[in-house]
Amino acid sequence: MLCTILPAYSEDEALVTEESNDCTLDLDSSEFGVRVRNIKGVPLENTKNTVKALGQLIRPKQWVKNSFVMVGMLFSQNWGHVDLLLKAITAAIAFCFVSSAVYVLNDFLDRERDRMHPKKCHRPLASGAVTPRVAGVIFLFFLLIGMLLGLAVSSIALGILLYYLAQNIAYSKGLKQVVLLDVLLIAFGFMLRILMGTWGVGIAPSKWLLLSGLTLALFMGFGKRWAELNDLLTGASAHRPVLKNYSLELLNQLLGITAGAVILTYSLYVIDPSTVILHHTTTLIYTVPFVIYGLWRYLYLIRIGKGGDPSKLVTKDPHIIVAVLLWLTSVLYILS
In a domain, 270, yes or no: yes
Q: How far is residue 227's CA from residue 243's CA, in Å, rounded to a whole number?
A: 11
In a domain, 37, yes or no: no
Q: How many domains, in total, are found in the chain?
A: 2
* Longest distance between any two alpha carbons in the chain, whole Å: 72
Find the domain containing 63 and state its range. Answer: 46-205
**Cβ atoms of residues 37 and 19 within 8 Å:** no
**Cβ atoms of residues 122 and 42 within 8 Å:** no
**Cβ atoms of residues 289 and 322 within 8 Å:** no
**In whole numbers, what is the pLDDT of the chain averaged over residues?**
84
Same domain, yes or no, for 255 and 176? no
Same domain, yes or no, for 190 and 271? no
Domain boundary among the residues 168, 184, 205 is at 205
Domain boundary among the residues 163, 190, 205 is at 205
HSE (side-chain half, CA atoms, 13 Å) at 272: 14
Q: How far is residue 175's CA from residue 182's CA, in Å, rounded to a whole number?
A: 6
In a domain, 7, yes or no: no
pLDDT, residue 91, reads: 97
pLDDT, residue 238, reads: 52
**Cβ atoms of residues 238 and 116 within 8 Å:** yes
Strand partners, 25: 18
Q: How far is residue 80's CA from residue 98's CA, in Å, rounded to a whole number?
A: 28
Strand partners, 24: 19
Task: Decide if pLDDT at 256 tops 50.
Answer: yes
Same domain, yes or no, for 210 and 186? no
**Cβ atoms of residues 233 and 243 within 8 Å:** no
CATH number at residue 125: 1.10.357.140
In a domain, 256, yes or no: yes
Range scoring the smallest mean pLDDT among 123-137, 153-167, 265-279: 123-137
Q: How far is residue 110's CA from residue 299's CA, in Å, rounded to a whole number?
A: 28
Same domain, yes or no, for 114 and 259? no
Residue range 175-219, pLDDT digits in tens = 999 999 999 999 999 999 999 999 999 998 889 999 999 999 999
Domain boundary among the residues 205, 226, 258 is at 205
